[in-house]
Structure 1
Amino acid sequence: MKRVSESRYYPVVKRELERMTARRFYFGVCIVLPLFTLFFMATIFGNGQMENIPIGIVDQDQTATSRTIARNIAAVPTFHVTQTFVNEAAAREAVQRKEIYGYLSIPANFEQKAVTGKNPTLCYYYHYALLSVGGELMAAFETALAPVALSPIAMQAMALGVSEERIETFLLPVEGSDHPLYNPSLDYSVYLSLPFFYVLFQVLILLTTVYAAGIEIKFGTAGEWLSTARGNIVVAVVGKLLPYTLIYTLMGMLANYVMLDILHIPFEGNWWLLNGLTVLFIIATQALGLFLFSLFPAISIIISIVSMVGSLGATLSGVTFPVANMYPLVRDASYLFPVRHFTEITQTMLYYNGGFAYLWPSAVILCIFPLLALALLPHLKRAIESNRYENIQ
């Protein structure tokens, strides 16, 4: 067995480590940005629920009933009543300026109409360009205003001499009982923090991979890089990417530890299986970056392409929209992104406690990405030897 110092990979790895330590840029993209991303995703959801979303109230009734409704709305944790308005036009302008994200409108003569049984209407508006915020506001408004909607009927029934017990039977003939599976506290961090971290993580991996290889061609050092590997392009690529693979593996394992052990995201799967598949995801993402770089070995072009691919990977990962419900063409395109398969792996392990018997199809697909990258390495070697991509701006 050869010693490490005699390994053909050793000179390439040593050369790359020297390049990494010579520029603070690599420290930023390999250490600082992943840690910042981890901290950001671990803290963004706070206690797991959206709270204190700024809203306004338009009270054109100015009665005891309208003030009671306003106090009840202000007591809902989701809302933070920051402004009151004299009319809906001013409230709508505040929404457009994003000073508030919704408002409740209490019309004039609301109390009088409610008492006389004339079916008054309460209107609420919310900013639905932001789907998550809009959906949260809609649900909170409906929950908070449900008793108000039923109160006129209850008042009329009581005036007719109907007992409170009978009122409840016809107002709420069926009582709902919610039992959310896998996430009983409805904590956003349970199903968003971990996948969102890896969505951002894959962008960093892609950019670092193509930059580390592209900078060699841009500054005319690709020939030296290849000669260090004795002309073997496989050795050159593996030796260059190995330090980044090890660093990102540590970052991925740290993220798994923080999310599952410190934040206590429910997880009953195998810890080492998750970490092993995390390493496979990192290698597959690097392979995707290398594959794209082999197609377009010019850093000025490939950075833009990889940025677009990273954004598409975030959209098609299945975190924000179920892959199964996408249009068939879009669903098929999602198979081209490693983060889509890793998201499926993590969701299976988190939600269903699935073992490798349920994960192996996604794992096999992740193994295909390095094979695709290897198939294009001869093209990359010819591009390096031809020097025709060095002067592309």
Structure 2
Amino acid sequence: MILAVYKIFIREWKRILTLPVHYVVLLVVPVIICTIYALIYNNKFAQDLPVAVWDESHSPLSRQFTFMLEETESIHFTRQVNSYAEIESLMKKGEILAAIHFPPGMDNDIKSRHPTTVTLYANAASLVTSKLIYKDAAQVIITAGSGVILQKFVKKGMPSGQAMSLVLPVNLHSWVLYNPRYDYQAYLVPGLIAVALQMMIIMVAILTLNYERNTGTMEELREQAGGSASVVIMGKSLAHLSVAWVNYLLVTCIMFPIFANGLLATNWPLFVMYTLLAIACIGVGMLVSSIFNDVMLACDIGLFYTSPAFVFSGFTFPRWGMPWFDQYYAQLMPFTPFLDSLFKVYFMKLPLLYCYKEMGHLLIFIVLTFPVAIIVFQRRLNKLAVQHA
């Protein structure tokens, strides 16, 4: 049986290297997709976002605030405006993403400890950039405003410690963990590449069995496997798993060192979870391929199944915030448990022990899909043998 599996393995590799529907999707497209995704987010951070300033204070303090805001990573003042209408017009034209308004008499209000309002107008249609601008602006305004009051107390002779306790009675220290600089490339690219690889593995696996009939090689496959569906599926699955490993090495040993300054090939937990993802995807593809003889119908089912994986996985919106039926649908795709494990082993650098639930979830896909695929495909081989008897 081992020799028969090996023959099917070699035979499948030859098909992968000679059939365009195989080698284009498995060996050419991953290189293109990885490069495109990496280049899209090559800047890593959202920096120097265009912001306008509306200064009605015209004071040394407002100019100091403006200078401090300009020194942040996300804010870059590109326009000076004189009205809300002008702010709205520039946002609609896409020339600015936010605007800061310093009200008249701001200096006197702050120094006399009267309430004053510095307004941030942010274009929340761009959700991520507006939050980044708000984070930097809030930090500067609160810190700088408190500093002005602190200086006033100290000049009046109050001890600095007592002055600090009046200005900031509660100290808040925030620590942003695992992606402290909000690196787009480090966060988005691994997930995008993983979901693309899931789609490619499943779509090609869908063609592994029923495409044999289109190429007129089904009888040859049956004879070489000795009429055993388990030999066929095992040999083909090992071939496609080895291709998945090639793509893993491409991503971890070439793409990430070039674009993300990190070598991930030594991340053993990530490799284990990726391997389980690949086997689960191959199992899903084999199951669909064994059930549906029509290649186009099988591919349509595969596209319908894999296309929403990124949306439902919780990568951009938490699954607990989705309707219950969407949460259940998300669990029907191998990418969902893999993504949960990706956060643990890639971002948080946790050992594999923390991924036992995700491993169990992926093993369920494997245990359910391969036996059913073998049973269904064995019936097809038996019918083929009767026809050629």
TM-score (norm 1): 0.75
**SS at structure 2 position matched to 1:128:** coil
Instruction: Quote the Cα distance in structure 1 between the aligned partners of 2:123 and 2:300.
Output: 32
Code of the aligned partner of 2:336: R
Instruction: Give 1:249 shift.
Output: 1.1
| Structure-1 residue corresponding to 2:333 | 337
The answer on whether the counterparts of 1:211 and 1:299 sit within 8 Å (CA) in structure 2 is yes
1:245 aligns with 2:224: no
| Structure-1 residue corresponding to 2:76 | 80
The answer on whether the counterparts of 1:223 and 1:385 sit within 8 Å (CA) in structure 2 is no
**SS at structure 2 position matched to 1:173:** coil
The answer on whether the counterparts of 2:57 and 2:102 sit within 8 Å (CA) in structure 1 is yes
> Which among 286, 291, 308 is matched to residue 290 of structure 1?
286
Long gaps (5+) in structure 2: 385-389
Instruction: Give 1:323 shift.
Output: 4.9
1:365 aligns with 2:361: yes
Instruction: Give 1:285 shift.
Output: 1.4
| Structure-2 residue corresponding to 1:105 | 101
1:58 aligns with 2:84: no
Instruction: Quote the Cα distance in structure 2 between the aligned partners of 1:279 and 1:344.
Output: 15
| Structure-1 residue corresponding to 2:387 | none
Instruction: Give 1:246 shift.
Output: 1.0
Deviations 1:127-150 (A, max 9, x none): 334433332222122112223544
TM-score (norm 2): 0.76
Instruction: Give 1:207 shift.
Output: 2.6
> Which among 72, 91, 94 is matched to residue 95 of structure 1?
91
Q: What are the residue-to-residue correspondences of 1:136-285 with 2, within 5 Å?
A: 136-150=132-146, 153=149, 161=156, 163=158, 165=160, 166-182=162-178, 192-213=188-209, 215-216=211-212, 219=214, 221=216, 223=218, 227=222, 229=225, 231-257=227-253, 263=260, 271-285=267-281
Percent of aligned pairs sharing the same letter: 20
Distance 1:109 1:303, change over 3 A: farther
Code of the aligned partner of 1:140: D
Distance 1:185 1:139, change over 3 A: closer
1:306 aligns with 2:302: yes
Count of residues paired in the alignment: 379
- Backbone CA RMSD of aligned residues: 4.2
Instruction: Give 1:211 shift.
Output: 4.6
Distance 1:274 1:75, change over 3 A: closer
The answer on whether the counterparts of 1:293 and 1:302 sit within 8 Å (CA) in structure 2 is yes
Instruction: Quote the Cα distance in structure 1 between the aligned partners of 2:220 and 2:276.
Output: 26
**SS at structure 2 position matched to 1:336:** coil
Instruction: Quote the Cα distance in structure 2 between the aligned partners of 1:142 and 1:225.
Output: 70
Code of the aligned partner of 1:34: P
1:354 aligns with 2:347: no
Long gaps (5+) in structure 1: 388-393
The answer on whether the counterparts of 1:16 and 1:240 sit within 8 Å (CA) in structure 2 is yes
> Which among 15, 18, 32 is matched to residue 22 of structure 1?
18
